[in-house]
Amino acid sequence: MSSRATAVAPANIAFIKYWGAHDVERGVPMNPSVSMTLSRCVSICTVEAHPREDGRSGVAPHGEDCDGVGDEILLAGPDGNRPAPEFFACRIRDHLDRLRKLFDAAVTFRVATKNSFPAGAGLASSASGFAALTLAAVRALGLDLATDELSVLARRSGSGSAARSVLGGFVELPGGPDEGDVYARPLAGAADWDLRDVIAVVASEPKSVSSREGHRRVVSSPYYRERLALLPGRLATVRDAIERRDFHLLGPVVEEEGIDLHLVAMSAIPPIFYWLPGTLQVLETVRMLRLEGIEAYSTMDAGPNVHVICRPSEEASVVDRLGQLESVREVICDGVGPGPRFSEDHLL
């Protein structure tokens, strides 16, 4: 008998960035990371599990061509579902294969997925996408796993940040190399601290270098080792700021980390450039806002868009100012969210 489940999983914005991996394929980060789970930026994923007639479980081992199992991967859109592009479907099949083998499940999957925000532009679409896929697939298989286990499984998709999207509020993910330890822990709940993330979208096209390729390449930066040495101090500050709800303590570290990710990218061999002209315009505007007494701090993931973190009292001013910039295509207002949920609004 087939079964079906739909999960809604949020994106997250990192205050301390996972950047560089012990093992990219298994999503084992070189360093600990801390993020805020978002509320409105979500991926929705429906998974159907159909029993295989031949009773065999997964065939394509991870890393080989993923053409064996006949899983159907669809993108849900306003005009209905259509087949996903092959590079995208391939990563999803890889992950489904992994789950199938792990749970020895003799099934084929049908998957339909969509995002509430532009994909592939540094808005953590793979984090929310793989978290939603993992949660929906596990439930479609009839399994009930602990959050720790779900976090590990989401990470194993290769999107390490997906491990953080299984929890709401403020979340920490340890670094490797000890893989068993790398699952998300809650630092504070969504209701504990009302922060806002005003996202200035300056490009909605997929970025030129994927985060996965970034994780592989940035360890070649001559500055990478020094970055790792800086992180324990920053991590302690961010934990402390979250515990004390001290925005003035949090903000400067968040902004420093957002820049730092790009500094090691631009000094990698070969270098990676994610910033666009509009990125710099937003960064400059945020510095100007602070000079005017509007406390807001920018951060970026591996892409050109800028997340501006502020308190609720400053949100309207930030939105207003960013919306006036000619290079900003769209302003998305988001905030701390409670984490993933299941839904009965199925996409299949």
Q: Which residues would be at the binding site for a copy of itself (CB under 8 A)?
A: 222-223, 225-227, 229-230, 256, 259-260, 263, 266-267, 271, 273, 275-281, 283-284, 287, 327
Full DSSP string of 257-268: HHHHHHHHHHTS
Give 279 or 305: the residue with its C-beta nearer to a copy of itself: 279
Q: Are 257 and 13 in contact (CB under 8 A)?
A: no
Instruction: Characterize the bridge pairing of strands 185-188 and 107-115.
Output: unpaired
Burial label, 179 (beta-carbon count in 10 A; 0-12, 13-18, 19+): middle
268-271 long-range contacts (CB < 8 A, ≥24 apart) are: 268/217, 268/218, 268/220, 268/221, 268/224, 269/217, 269/220, 269/221, 270/217
Cα–Cα distances in Å, from 113 out to 5, 11, 82, 89, 286? 12, 14, 10, 11, 34
Q: How many Cα atoms occupy the beta-carbon half-sphere of 283 within 13 Å?
A: 16
Cβ closest to a copy of itself, residue 134 vs residue 221: 221
Residue 287 Cβ vs a copy of itself, minimum distance, rounded to whole Å: 8
Smallest distance, a copy of itself to C-beta of residue 250, A: 17
State which residue, 137 or 265, has the beta carbon closest to a copy of itself. Answer: 265
Q: Report residue 122 as tokens.
A: 């540094």
Buried b (16+ CB within 10 A) or exposed e, 70-81: ebbbbbbeeeeb
Half-sphere exposure of 40 (CA within 13 A, CB side): 11
Amino acid at 298: S
Instruction: Select 139 or 227, whichever has its Cβ closest to a copy of itself.
Output: 227
Tell me whether residue 127 or residue 282 sits nearer to a copy of itself (CB atom): 282
How many angstroms separate the most distant Cα atoms in the chain? Answer: 68
Rounded least distance, CB 337 to a copy of itself, Å = 31
CA distances, 71 to each of 39, 88, 199 (Å): 30, 13, 34
Give me the least distance between CB of 329 and a copy of itself, in Å please: 15
Question: Judged by CB, which is closer to a copy of itself: 36, or 264?
Answer: 264
If the CB atoms of residues 81 and 327 are measured against a copy of itself, the closer one turns out to be: 327
- CB of 237: closest distance to a copy of itself in angstroms? 14
**Nearer of residues 164 and 227 to a copy of itself, judged by Cβ:** 227
By C-beta, is 17 or 156 nearer to a copy of itself? 17
CB of 163 closer than 8 Å to CB of 151 = yes
Least separation in angstroms between residue 308's CB and a copy of itself is 16
Structure tokens at 165: 């999207």
Least CB distance to a copy of itself at residue 275 (A): 6
**Shortest spacing between CB 169 and a copy of itself, in angstroms:** 30
> Measured from the CB atom, is 75 or 235 closer to a copy of itself?
235
- Decide: 25 and 160 in contact? Cβ < 8 Å: no
* Least gap, CB of 282 to a copy of itself (angstroms): 10
The one-character DSSP state at 283 is H
Minimum Å gap between C-beta 22 and a copy of itself is 22
Pull the structure tokens for residue 181. Answer: 């330890």
Go through the chain and tell me how many residues it has: 348
